[in-house]
Chain A
Amino acid sequence: MSFSATNFAQPRPVPVEVRSNEKPLSSDSFRFRGPPSFLGSPHSLRFNPIPPFKLAIPHSQRSNASAVTHIANGKMVKSSANLLITKEEGLELYEDMILGRYFEDMCAQMYYRGKMFGFVHLYNGQEAVSTGFIKLLKKEDTVVSTYRDHVHALSKGVSARAVMSELFGKATGCCRGQGGSMHMFSKEHNVIGGFAFIGEGIPVATGAAFPSKYRREVLKEAGADQVTLAFFGDGTCNNGQFYECLNMAALWKLPIIFVVENNLWAIGMSHLRATSDPEIWKKGPAFGMPGVHVDGMDVLKVREVAKEVIERARRGDGPTLVECETYRFRGHSLADPDELRDPAEKARYAARDPISALKKYLFENKLASEQELKSIDKKIDEVLDDAVEYSDESPLPRRSQLLENVFADPKGFGIGPDGKYRCEDPKFTQGTAHV
Chain B
Amino acid sequence: MLRAIRHKSIHPAFCAFRAFSSAAKEMTVRDALNSALDEEMSADPKVFLMGEEVGEYQGAYKITKGLLDKYGPERVLDTPITEAGFAGIGVGAAYYGLRPVVEFMTFNFSMQAIDHIINSAAKSYYMSAGQISVPIVFRGPNGAAAGVGAQHSQCYAAWFAACPGLKVLTPYSSEDARGLLKAAIRDPDPVVFLENELLYGELFPVSAEVLDSSFCLPIGKAKIEREGKDVTITAYSKMVGYALKAADILAKEGISAEVINLRSIRPLDRSTINASVRKTNRLVTVEESFPQHGVGAEICTSVVEESFGYLDAPVERIAGADVPMPYAANLERMAVPQVEDIVRAAKRTCHRSVPLAATA
Chain A residues close to B by CB (< 8 Å): 142, 144, 175-179, 183, 185-187, 192-197, 200, 202-211, 214, 217-219, 240-241, 244-245, 247-248, 251, 404-409, 411-419, 422, 428, 430-435
Cβ-neighbour of A203 out of B116, B219, B221 (below 8 A): B116
Contact with A along B99-134 (1 / 0, CB 8 A): 000000000000000011001100011111111110
Q: In the complex the two chains form, is A422's CB within 8 Å of B128's CB? A: no
Number of interface residues of B (CB under 8 A): 63
Query: Are A430 and B2 also in contact (CB < 8 A) when A179-B129, A412-B167 are?
Result: yes
Interfacial chain A residues near B188, Cβ < 8 Å: 407-409, 415
> Is A247 a contact of B80 with CB atoms below 8 Å?
yes
Give chain B residues whose Cβ lies under 8 Å from the Cβ of A144: 92
Interface residue from A185, A248, A431 paired with B80 (Cβ < 8 Å): A248
Q: Judge whether A415 and B92 touch: CB under 8 Å.
A: no
Residue of B126, B214, B221, B270 most packed against chain A (CB within 10 A): B126
B residues within 8 A CB of A217?
Answer: 74
Residue pair A207, B88 in contact (C-beta under 8 Å): yes
Which residues of B144-191 have CB atoms within 8 Å of chain A's CB atoms?
Answer: 164-165, 167, 183-184, 186-189
Q: Which 5 A-B pairs have the closest CB atoms?
A: A207-B92, A203-B88, A244-B85, A185-B128, A414-B219
Q: A219-B46, A413-B221, A415-B186 are in contact. Are A192 and B95 (CB under 8 A)?
A: yes
Tell whether, in the assembled complex, residue B189 and residue A214 are in contact, meaning their CB atoms are under 8 Å apart.
no
Please tell me which one of the listed residues B75, B82, B130, B220 contacts residue A404 in the complex, with CB atoms under 8 A apart. Answer: B130
Tell me the residues in window 1-45 of chain B with beta carbons closer than 8 Å to chain A beta carbons: 1-2, 45
Q: Knowing A183-B127, A204-B95, say if A409 contacts B189 (CB, 8 Å).
A: yes
A244 — which chain B residues lie within 8 A by C-beta? 80, 82, 84-86
The reply to whether B128 and A179 contact each other, CB–CB distance below 8 Å, is yes
| Interface membership of B200, Cβ < 8 A | no
**What is the CA–CA distance of A414 and B116 in the complex, to the nearest angstrom?**
22
Q: Is the CB–CB distance between A193 and B167 below 8 Å?
A: no
Chain B interface main SS type:
loop
Q: Contacts A209-B92, A211-B93, A412-B267 hold; do A431 and B2 have CB atoms under 8 A apart? A: yes
Evaluate whether A206 and B88 lie within 8 angstroms (CB atoms) in the complex, with A412-B220, A413-B219 already known. yes
List of A residues within 8 angstroms of B67 by Cβ: none
Indicate whether A192 sits within 8 Å of B84 (C-beta atoms), given known contacts A214-B48, A422-B218: no
The residue in chain A whose Cβ has the minimal distance to the Cβ of B209 is A417
Chain B minimum-CB-distance residue to A210: B93
Task: Determine whether the beta carbon of A248 is less than 8 Å from that of B267.
Answer: no
Determine if B167 and A204 form an interchain contact, defined as CB atoms under 8 angstroms apart.
no
Q: Does chain A have a CB within 8 A of B310?
A: no
A200 touches B120 (CB 8 A): yes
In the complex, the answer to whether B129 meets A409 with C-beta atoms within 8 Å is: no
The residues of B that contact A142 with a CB separation of less than 8 Å are 96
Does B97 have its Cβ within 8 Å of any Cβ on chain A?
yes
CA of A414 to CA of B132, assembled, Å: 18
- Which of A207, A217, A413, A422 is most buried by chain B, counting CB atoms within 10 A of its CB? A207
User: What's the A-B contact tally at a CB cutoff of 8 Å?
Assistant: 207
B→A interface (CB under 8 Å): 1-2, 45-46, 48, 74-75, 79-80, 82, 84-98, 115-116, 119-120, 124-133, 135, 164-165, 167, 183-184, 186-189, 214-221, 267-272
B187 touches A435 (CB 8 A): no
A205→B90 CA distance, assembly (Å): 10
Partner of A218, one of B74, B84, B126, B186: B74
Query: Assuming the A-B contacts A200-B119, A434-B267, are A413 and B218 also in contact, with contact meaning beta carbons closer than 8 angstroms in the complex?
Result: yes
A252 to chain B: closest residue by CB: B77
Distance in Å: Cβ of A121 to nearest Cβ of chain B = 16
CA distance A219 to B184 in the complex (A): 22
State A247–B89 Cα separation when bound (angstroms).
Answer: 12
**Chain A residues whose CB sits within 8 angstroms of the CB of B167 once the complex forms:** 407, 412, 414
Q: Which of B85, B124, B128, B133 contacts A248 (CB 8 A)?
A: B85
A234 to chain B, nearest CB (A): 20
A203: chain B residues at CB < 8 Å are 84-89, 91-92, 116
The distance in angstroms between the C-alpha atoms of A417 and B211, with both chains bound, is 13
- B92, B127, B129, B165: the one contacting A210 at CB < 8 Å is B92
CB distance from B193 to the nearest CB of A (A): 12
A204 touching B125 by the CB < 8 A rule? no
Chain B residues in 8 Å Cβ range of A186: 131
Chain A residues whose CB sits within 8 angstroms of the CB of B79 once the complex forms: 248
| Residues on A with beta carbons closer than 8 Å to the beta carbon of B98 | 210-211, 214
Which chain A positions have C-beta within 8 A of B45?
Answer: 218-219
Given A200-B88, A206-B89, CB of A178 within 8 Å of CB of B220: no
Q: Judging by beta carbons under 8 Å apart, are A204 and B91 in contact?
A: yes
Q: Which residues of B contact A206 (CB under 8 A)?
A: 85, 88-89, 92
Report chain B residues within 8 Å CB of A432.
Answer: 220, 267, 269-271
Chain A residue nearest to B131 (CB atoms) is A187
CB-defined A-B contacts under 8 Å, sample of 12: A176-B130, A179-B127, A197-B115, A207-B88, A244-B82, A245-B89, A413-B219, A413-B267, A414-B220, A416-B216, A430-B2, A431-B2
Taking A204-B89, A244-B84, A248-B79 as given, write out 12 further A-B residue pairs in contact, using a Cβ cutoff of 8 Å, ordered by the A residue number: A175-B127, A179-B129, A196-B119, A203-B85, A203-B89, A205-B92, A209-B92, A241-B88, A407-B167, A414-B186, A431-B271, A433-B219
B119 neighbours in A (Cβ, 8 Å): 195-197, 200
> Which residues on the B side are within 8 Å of A428 (C-beta)?
218
B218 contacts A416, CB within 8 Å?
yes
